[in-house]
């Protein structure tokens, strides 16, 4: 009887281990810039590990938004890559991170943040429900317009500039990040 009980316990433990492993494998986020992203970490904790978001992280620090993006949220962040920042006119980033430009930098960064946790599937539903476009208010108070471009999601900013979501649904403990290829301008 003890051997049977031990065997059943071993089977139960093995089953639990496999189930846990499967659940955590399903919860794995897409890699960003070759770096693993973890749904148990905050937006900032994951972003600092992304080699393609070093400019964004520096800008978030300069704007004093680290504590906000480490808070409970939830937030949906449209995160421009280093290449996206590099598309801006020469010297723009260096000028924006100066202390005297903190308000402008904060406005631009909060224009990339939407309250709540919105997946790409939910964005697609909003676009469909809106007859081909969805207008969503950002944390800075202005709106972004979302449309479908093939199977991808395109974002149009207040100035008519566009960005594509290049990596969607990178879940965080306090929201979700969608990587984009262009900096959005309010």
pLDDT of amino acid 22: 38
Q: What is the pLDDT of residue 7?
A: 43
* Rounded Cα–Cα distance for residues 42 and 173 (Å): 5
CB atoms within 10 A of CB 146: 23
DSSP 81-121: -HHHHHTSPTTHHHHHTSGGGHHHHHHHHHTTEEES---HH
- What pLDDT tens digit does each residue of the chain (186 aa) get? 454 544 444 444 344 444 343 344 445 688 888 888 888 898 988 898 888 999 998 999 999 999 898 898 899 999 999 999 999 999 999 999 999 999 999 999 999 999 999 999 999 999 999 999 999 999 999 999 999 999 999 999 999 999 999 999 999 999 999 999 999 999
Alpha-carbon distances of 135 from 107, 128, 130, rounded to whole Å? 18, 12, 8
Quote the DSSP letter at residue 71: S
Helix (H, G, I), strand (E, B) or coil at 127: helix
* Measured distance between the N- and C-terminal CA atoms of the chain, rounded to whole angstroms: 71
> In the chain, where does DSSP find H-type helix?
2-26, 43-47, 54-63, 66-70, 82-86, 92-96, 102-110, 120-129
Q: Is the dihedral of CA 185, 164, 178, 130 positive or negative?
A: positive
Residue 44 corresponds to which tokens in the numbers above? 């900032």
155 with 146: CB under 8 angstroms? yes
Q: Which two tokens stand for residue 34?
A: 């070759």
Phi and psi at 184, nearest 5°, equal -90, 140
Domain boundaries along the sequence of the chain? 1-28, 31-180
Rg (CA), the chain: 20
Q: In this predicted structure, what is the pLDDT of residue 6?
A: 47
Query: In whole angstroms, what is the distance from residue 2 CA to residue 27 CA?
Result: 37
Q: What is the DSSP letter of 138?
A: -
Question: What is the topology classification, in CATH, of domain 31-180?
Answer: FAS1 domain (2.30.180)
């Amino acid at each position: 009887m003890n051997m049977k009980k031990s065997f059943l316990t071993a089977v139960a433990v093995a089953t639990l281990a496999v189930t846990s492993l499967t659940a955590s494998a399903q919860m794995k986020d897409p890699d960003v810039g070759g770096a693993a992203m973890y749904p148990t970490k905050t937006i900032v904790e994951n972003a600092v590990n992304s080699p393609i978001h070093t400019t964004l992280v520096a800008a978030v620090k300069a704007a004093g938004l680290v504590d906000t993006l480490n808070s409970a949220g939830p937030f949906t962040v449209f995160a421009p890559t280093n290449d996206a920042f590099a598309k801006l006119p020469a010297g723009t980033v260096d000028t924006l991170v100066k202390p005297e430009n903190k308000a402008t930098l904060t406005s631009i960064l909060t224009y990339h943040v939407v309250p709540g946790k919105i997946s790409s599937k939910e964005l697609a539903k909003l676009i469909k429900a809106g007859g081909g476009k969805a207008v969503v208010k950002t944390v800075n108070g202005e709106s972004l317009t979302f449309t479908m471009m093939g199977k991808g999601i395109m974002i149009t900013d207040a100035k008519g500039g566009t960005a594509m979501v290049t990596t969607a649904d990178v879940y965080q403990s306090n929201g979700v990040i969608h990587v984009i290829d262009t900096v959005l301008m309010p």
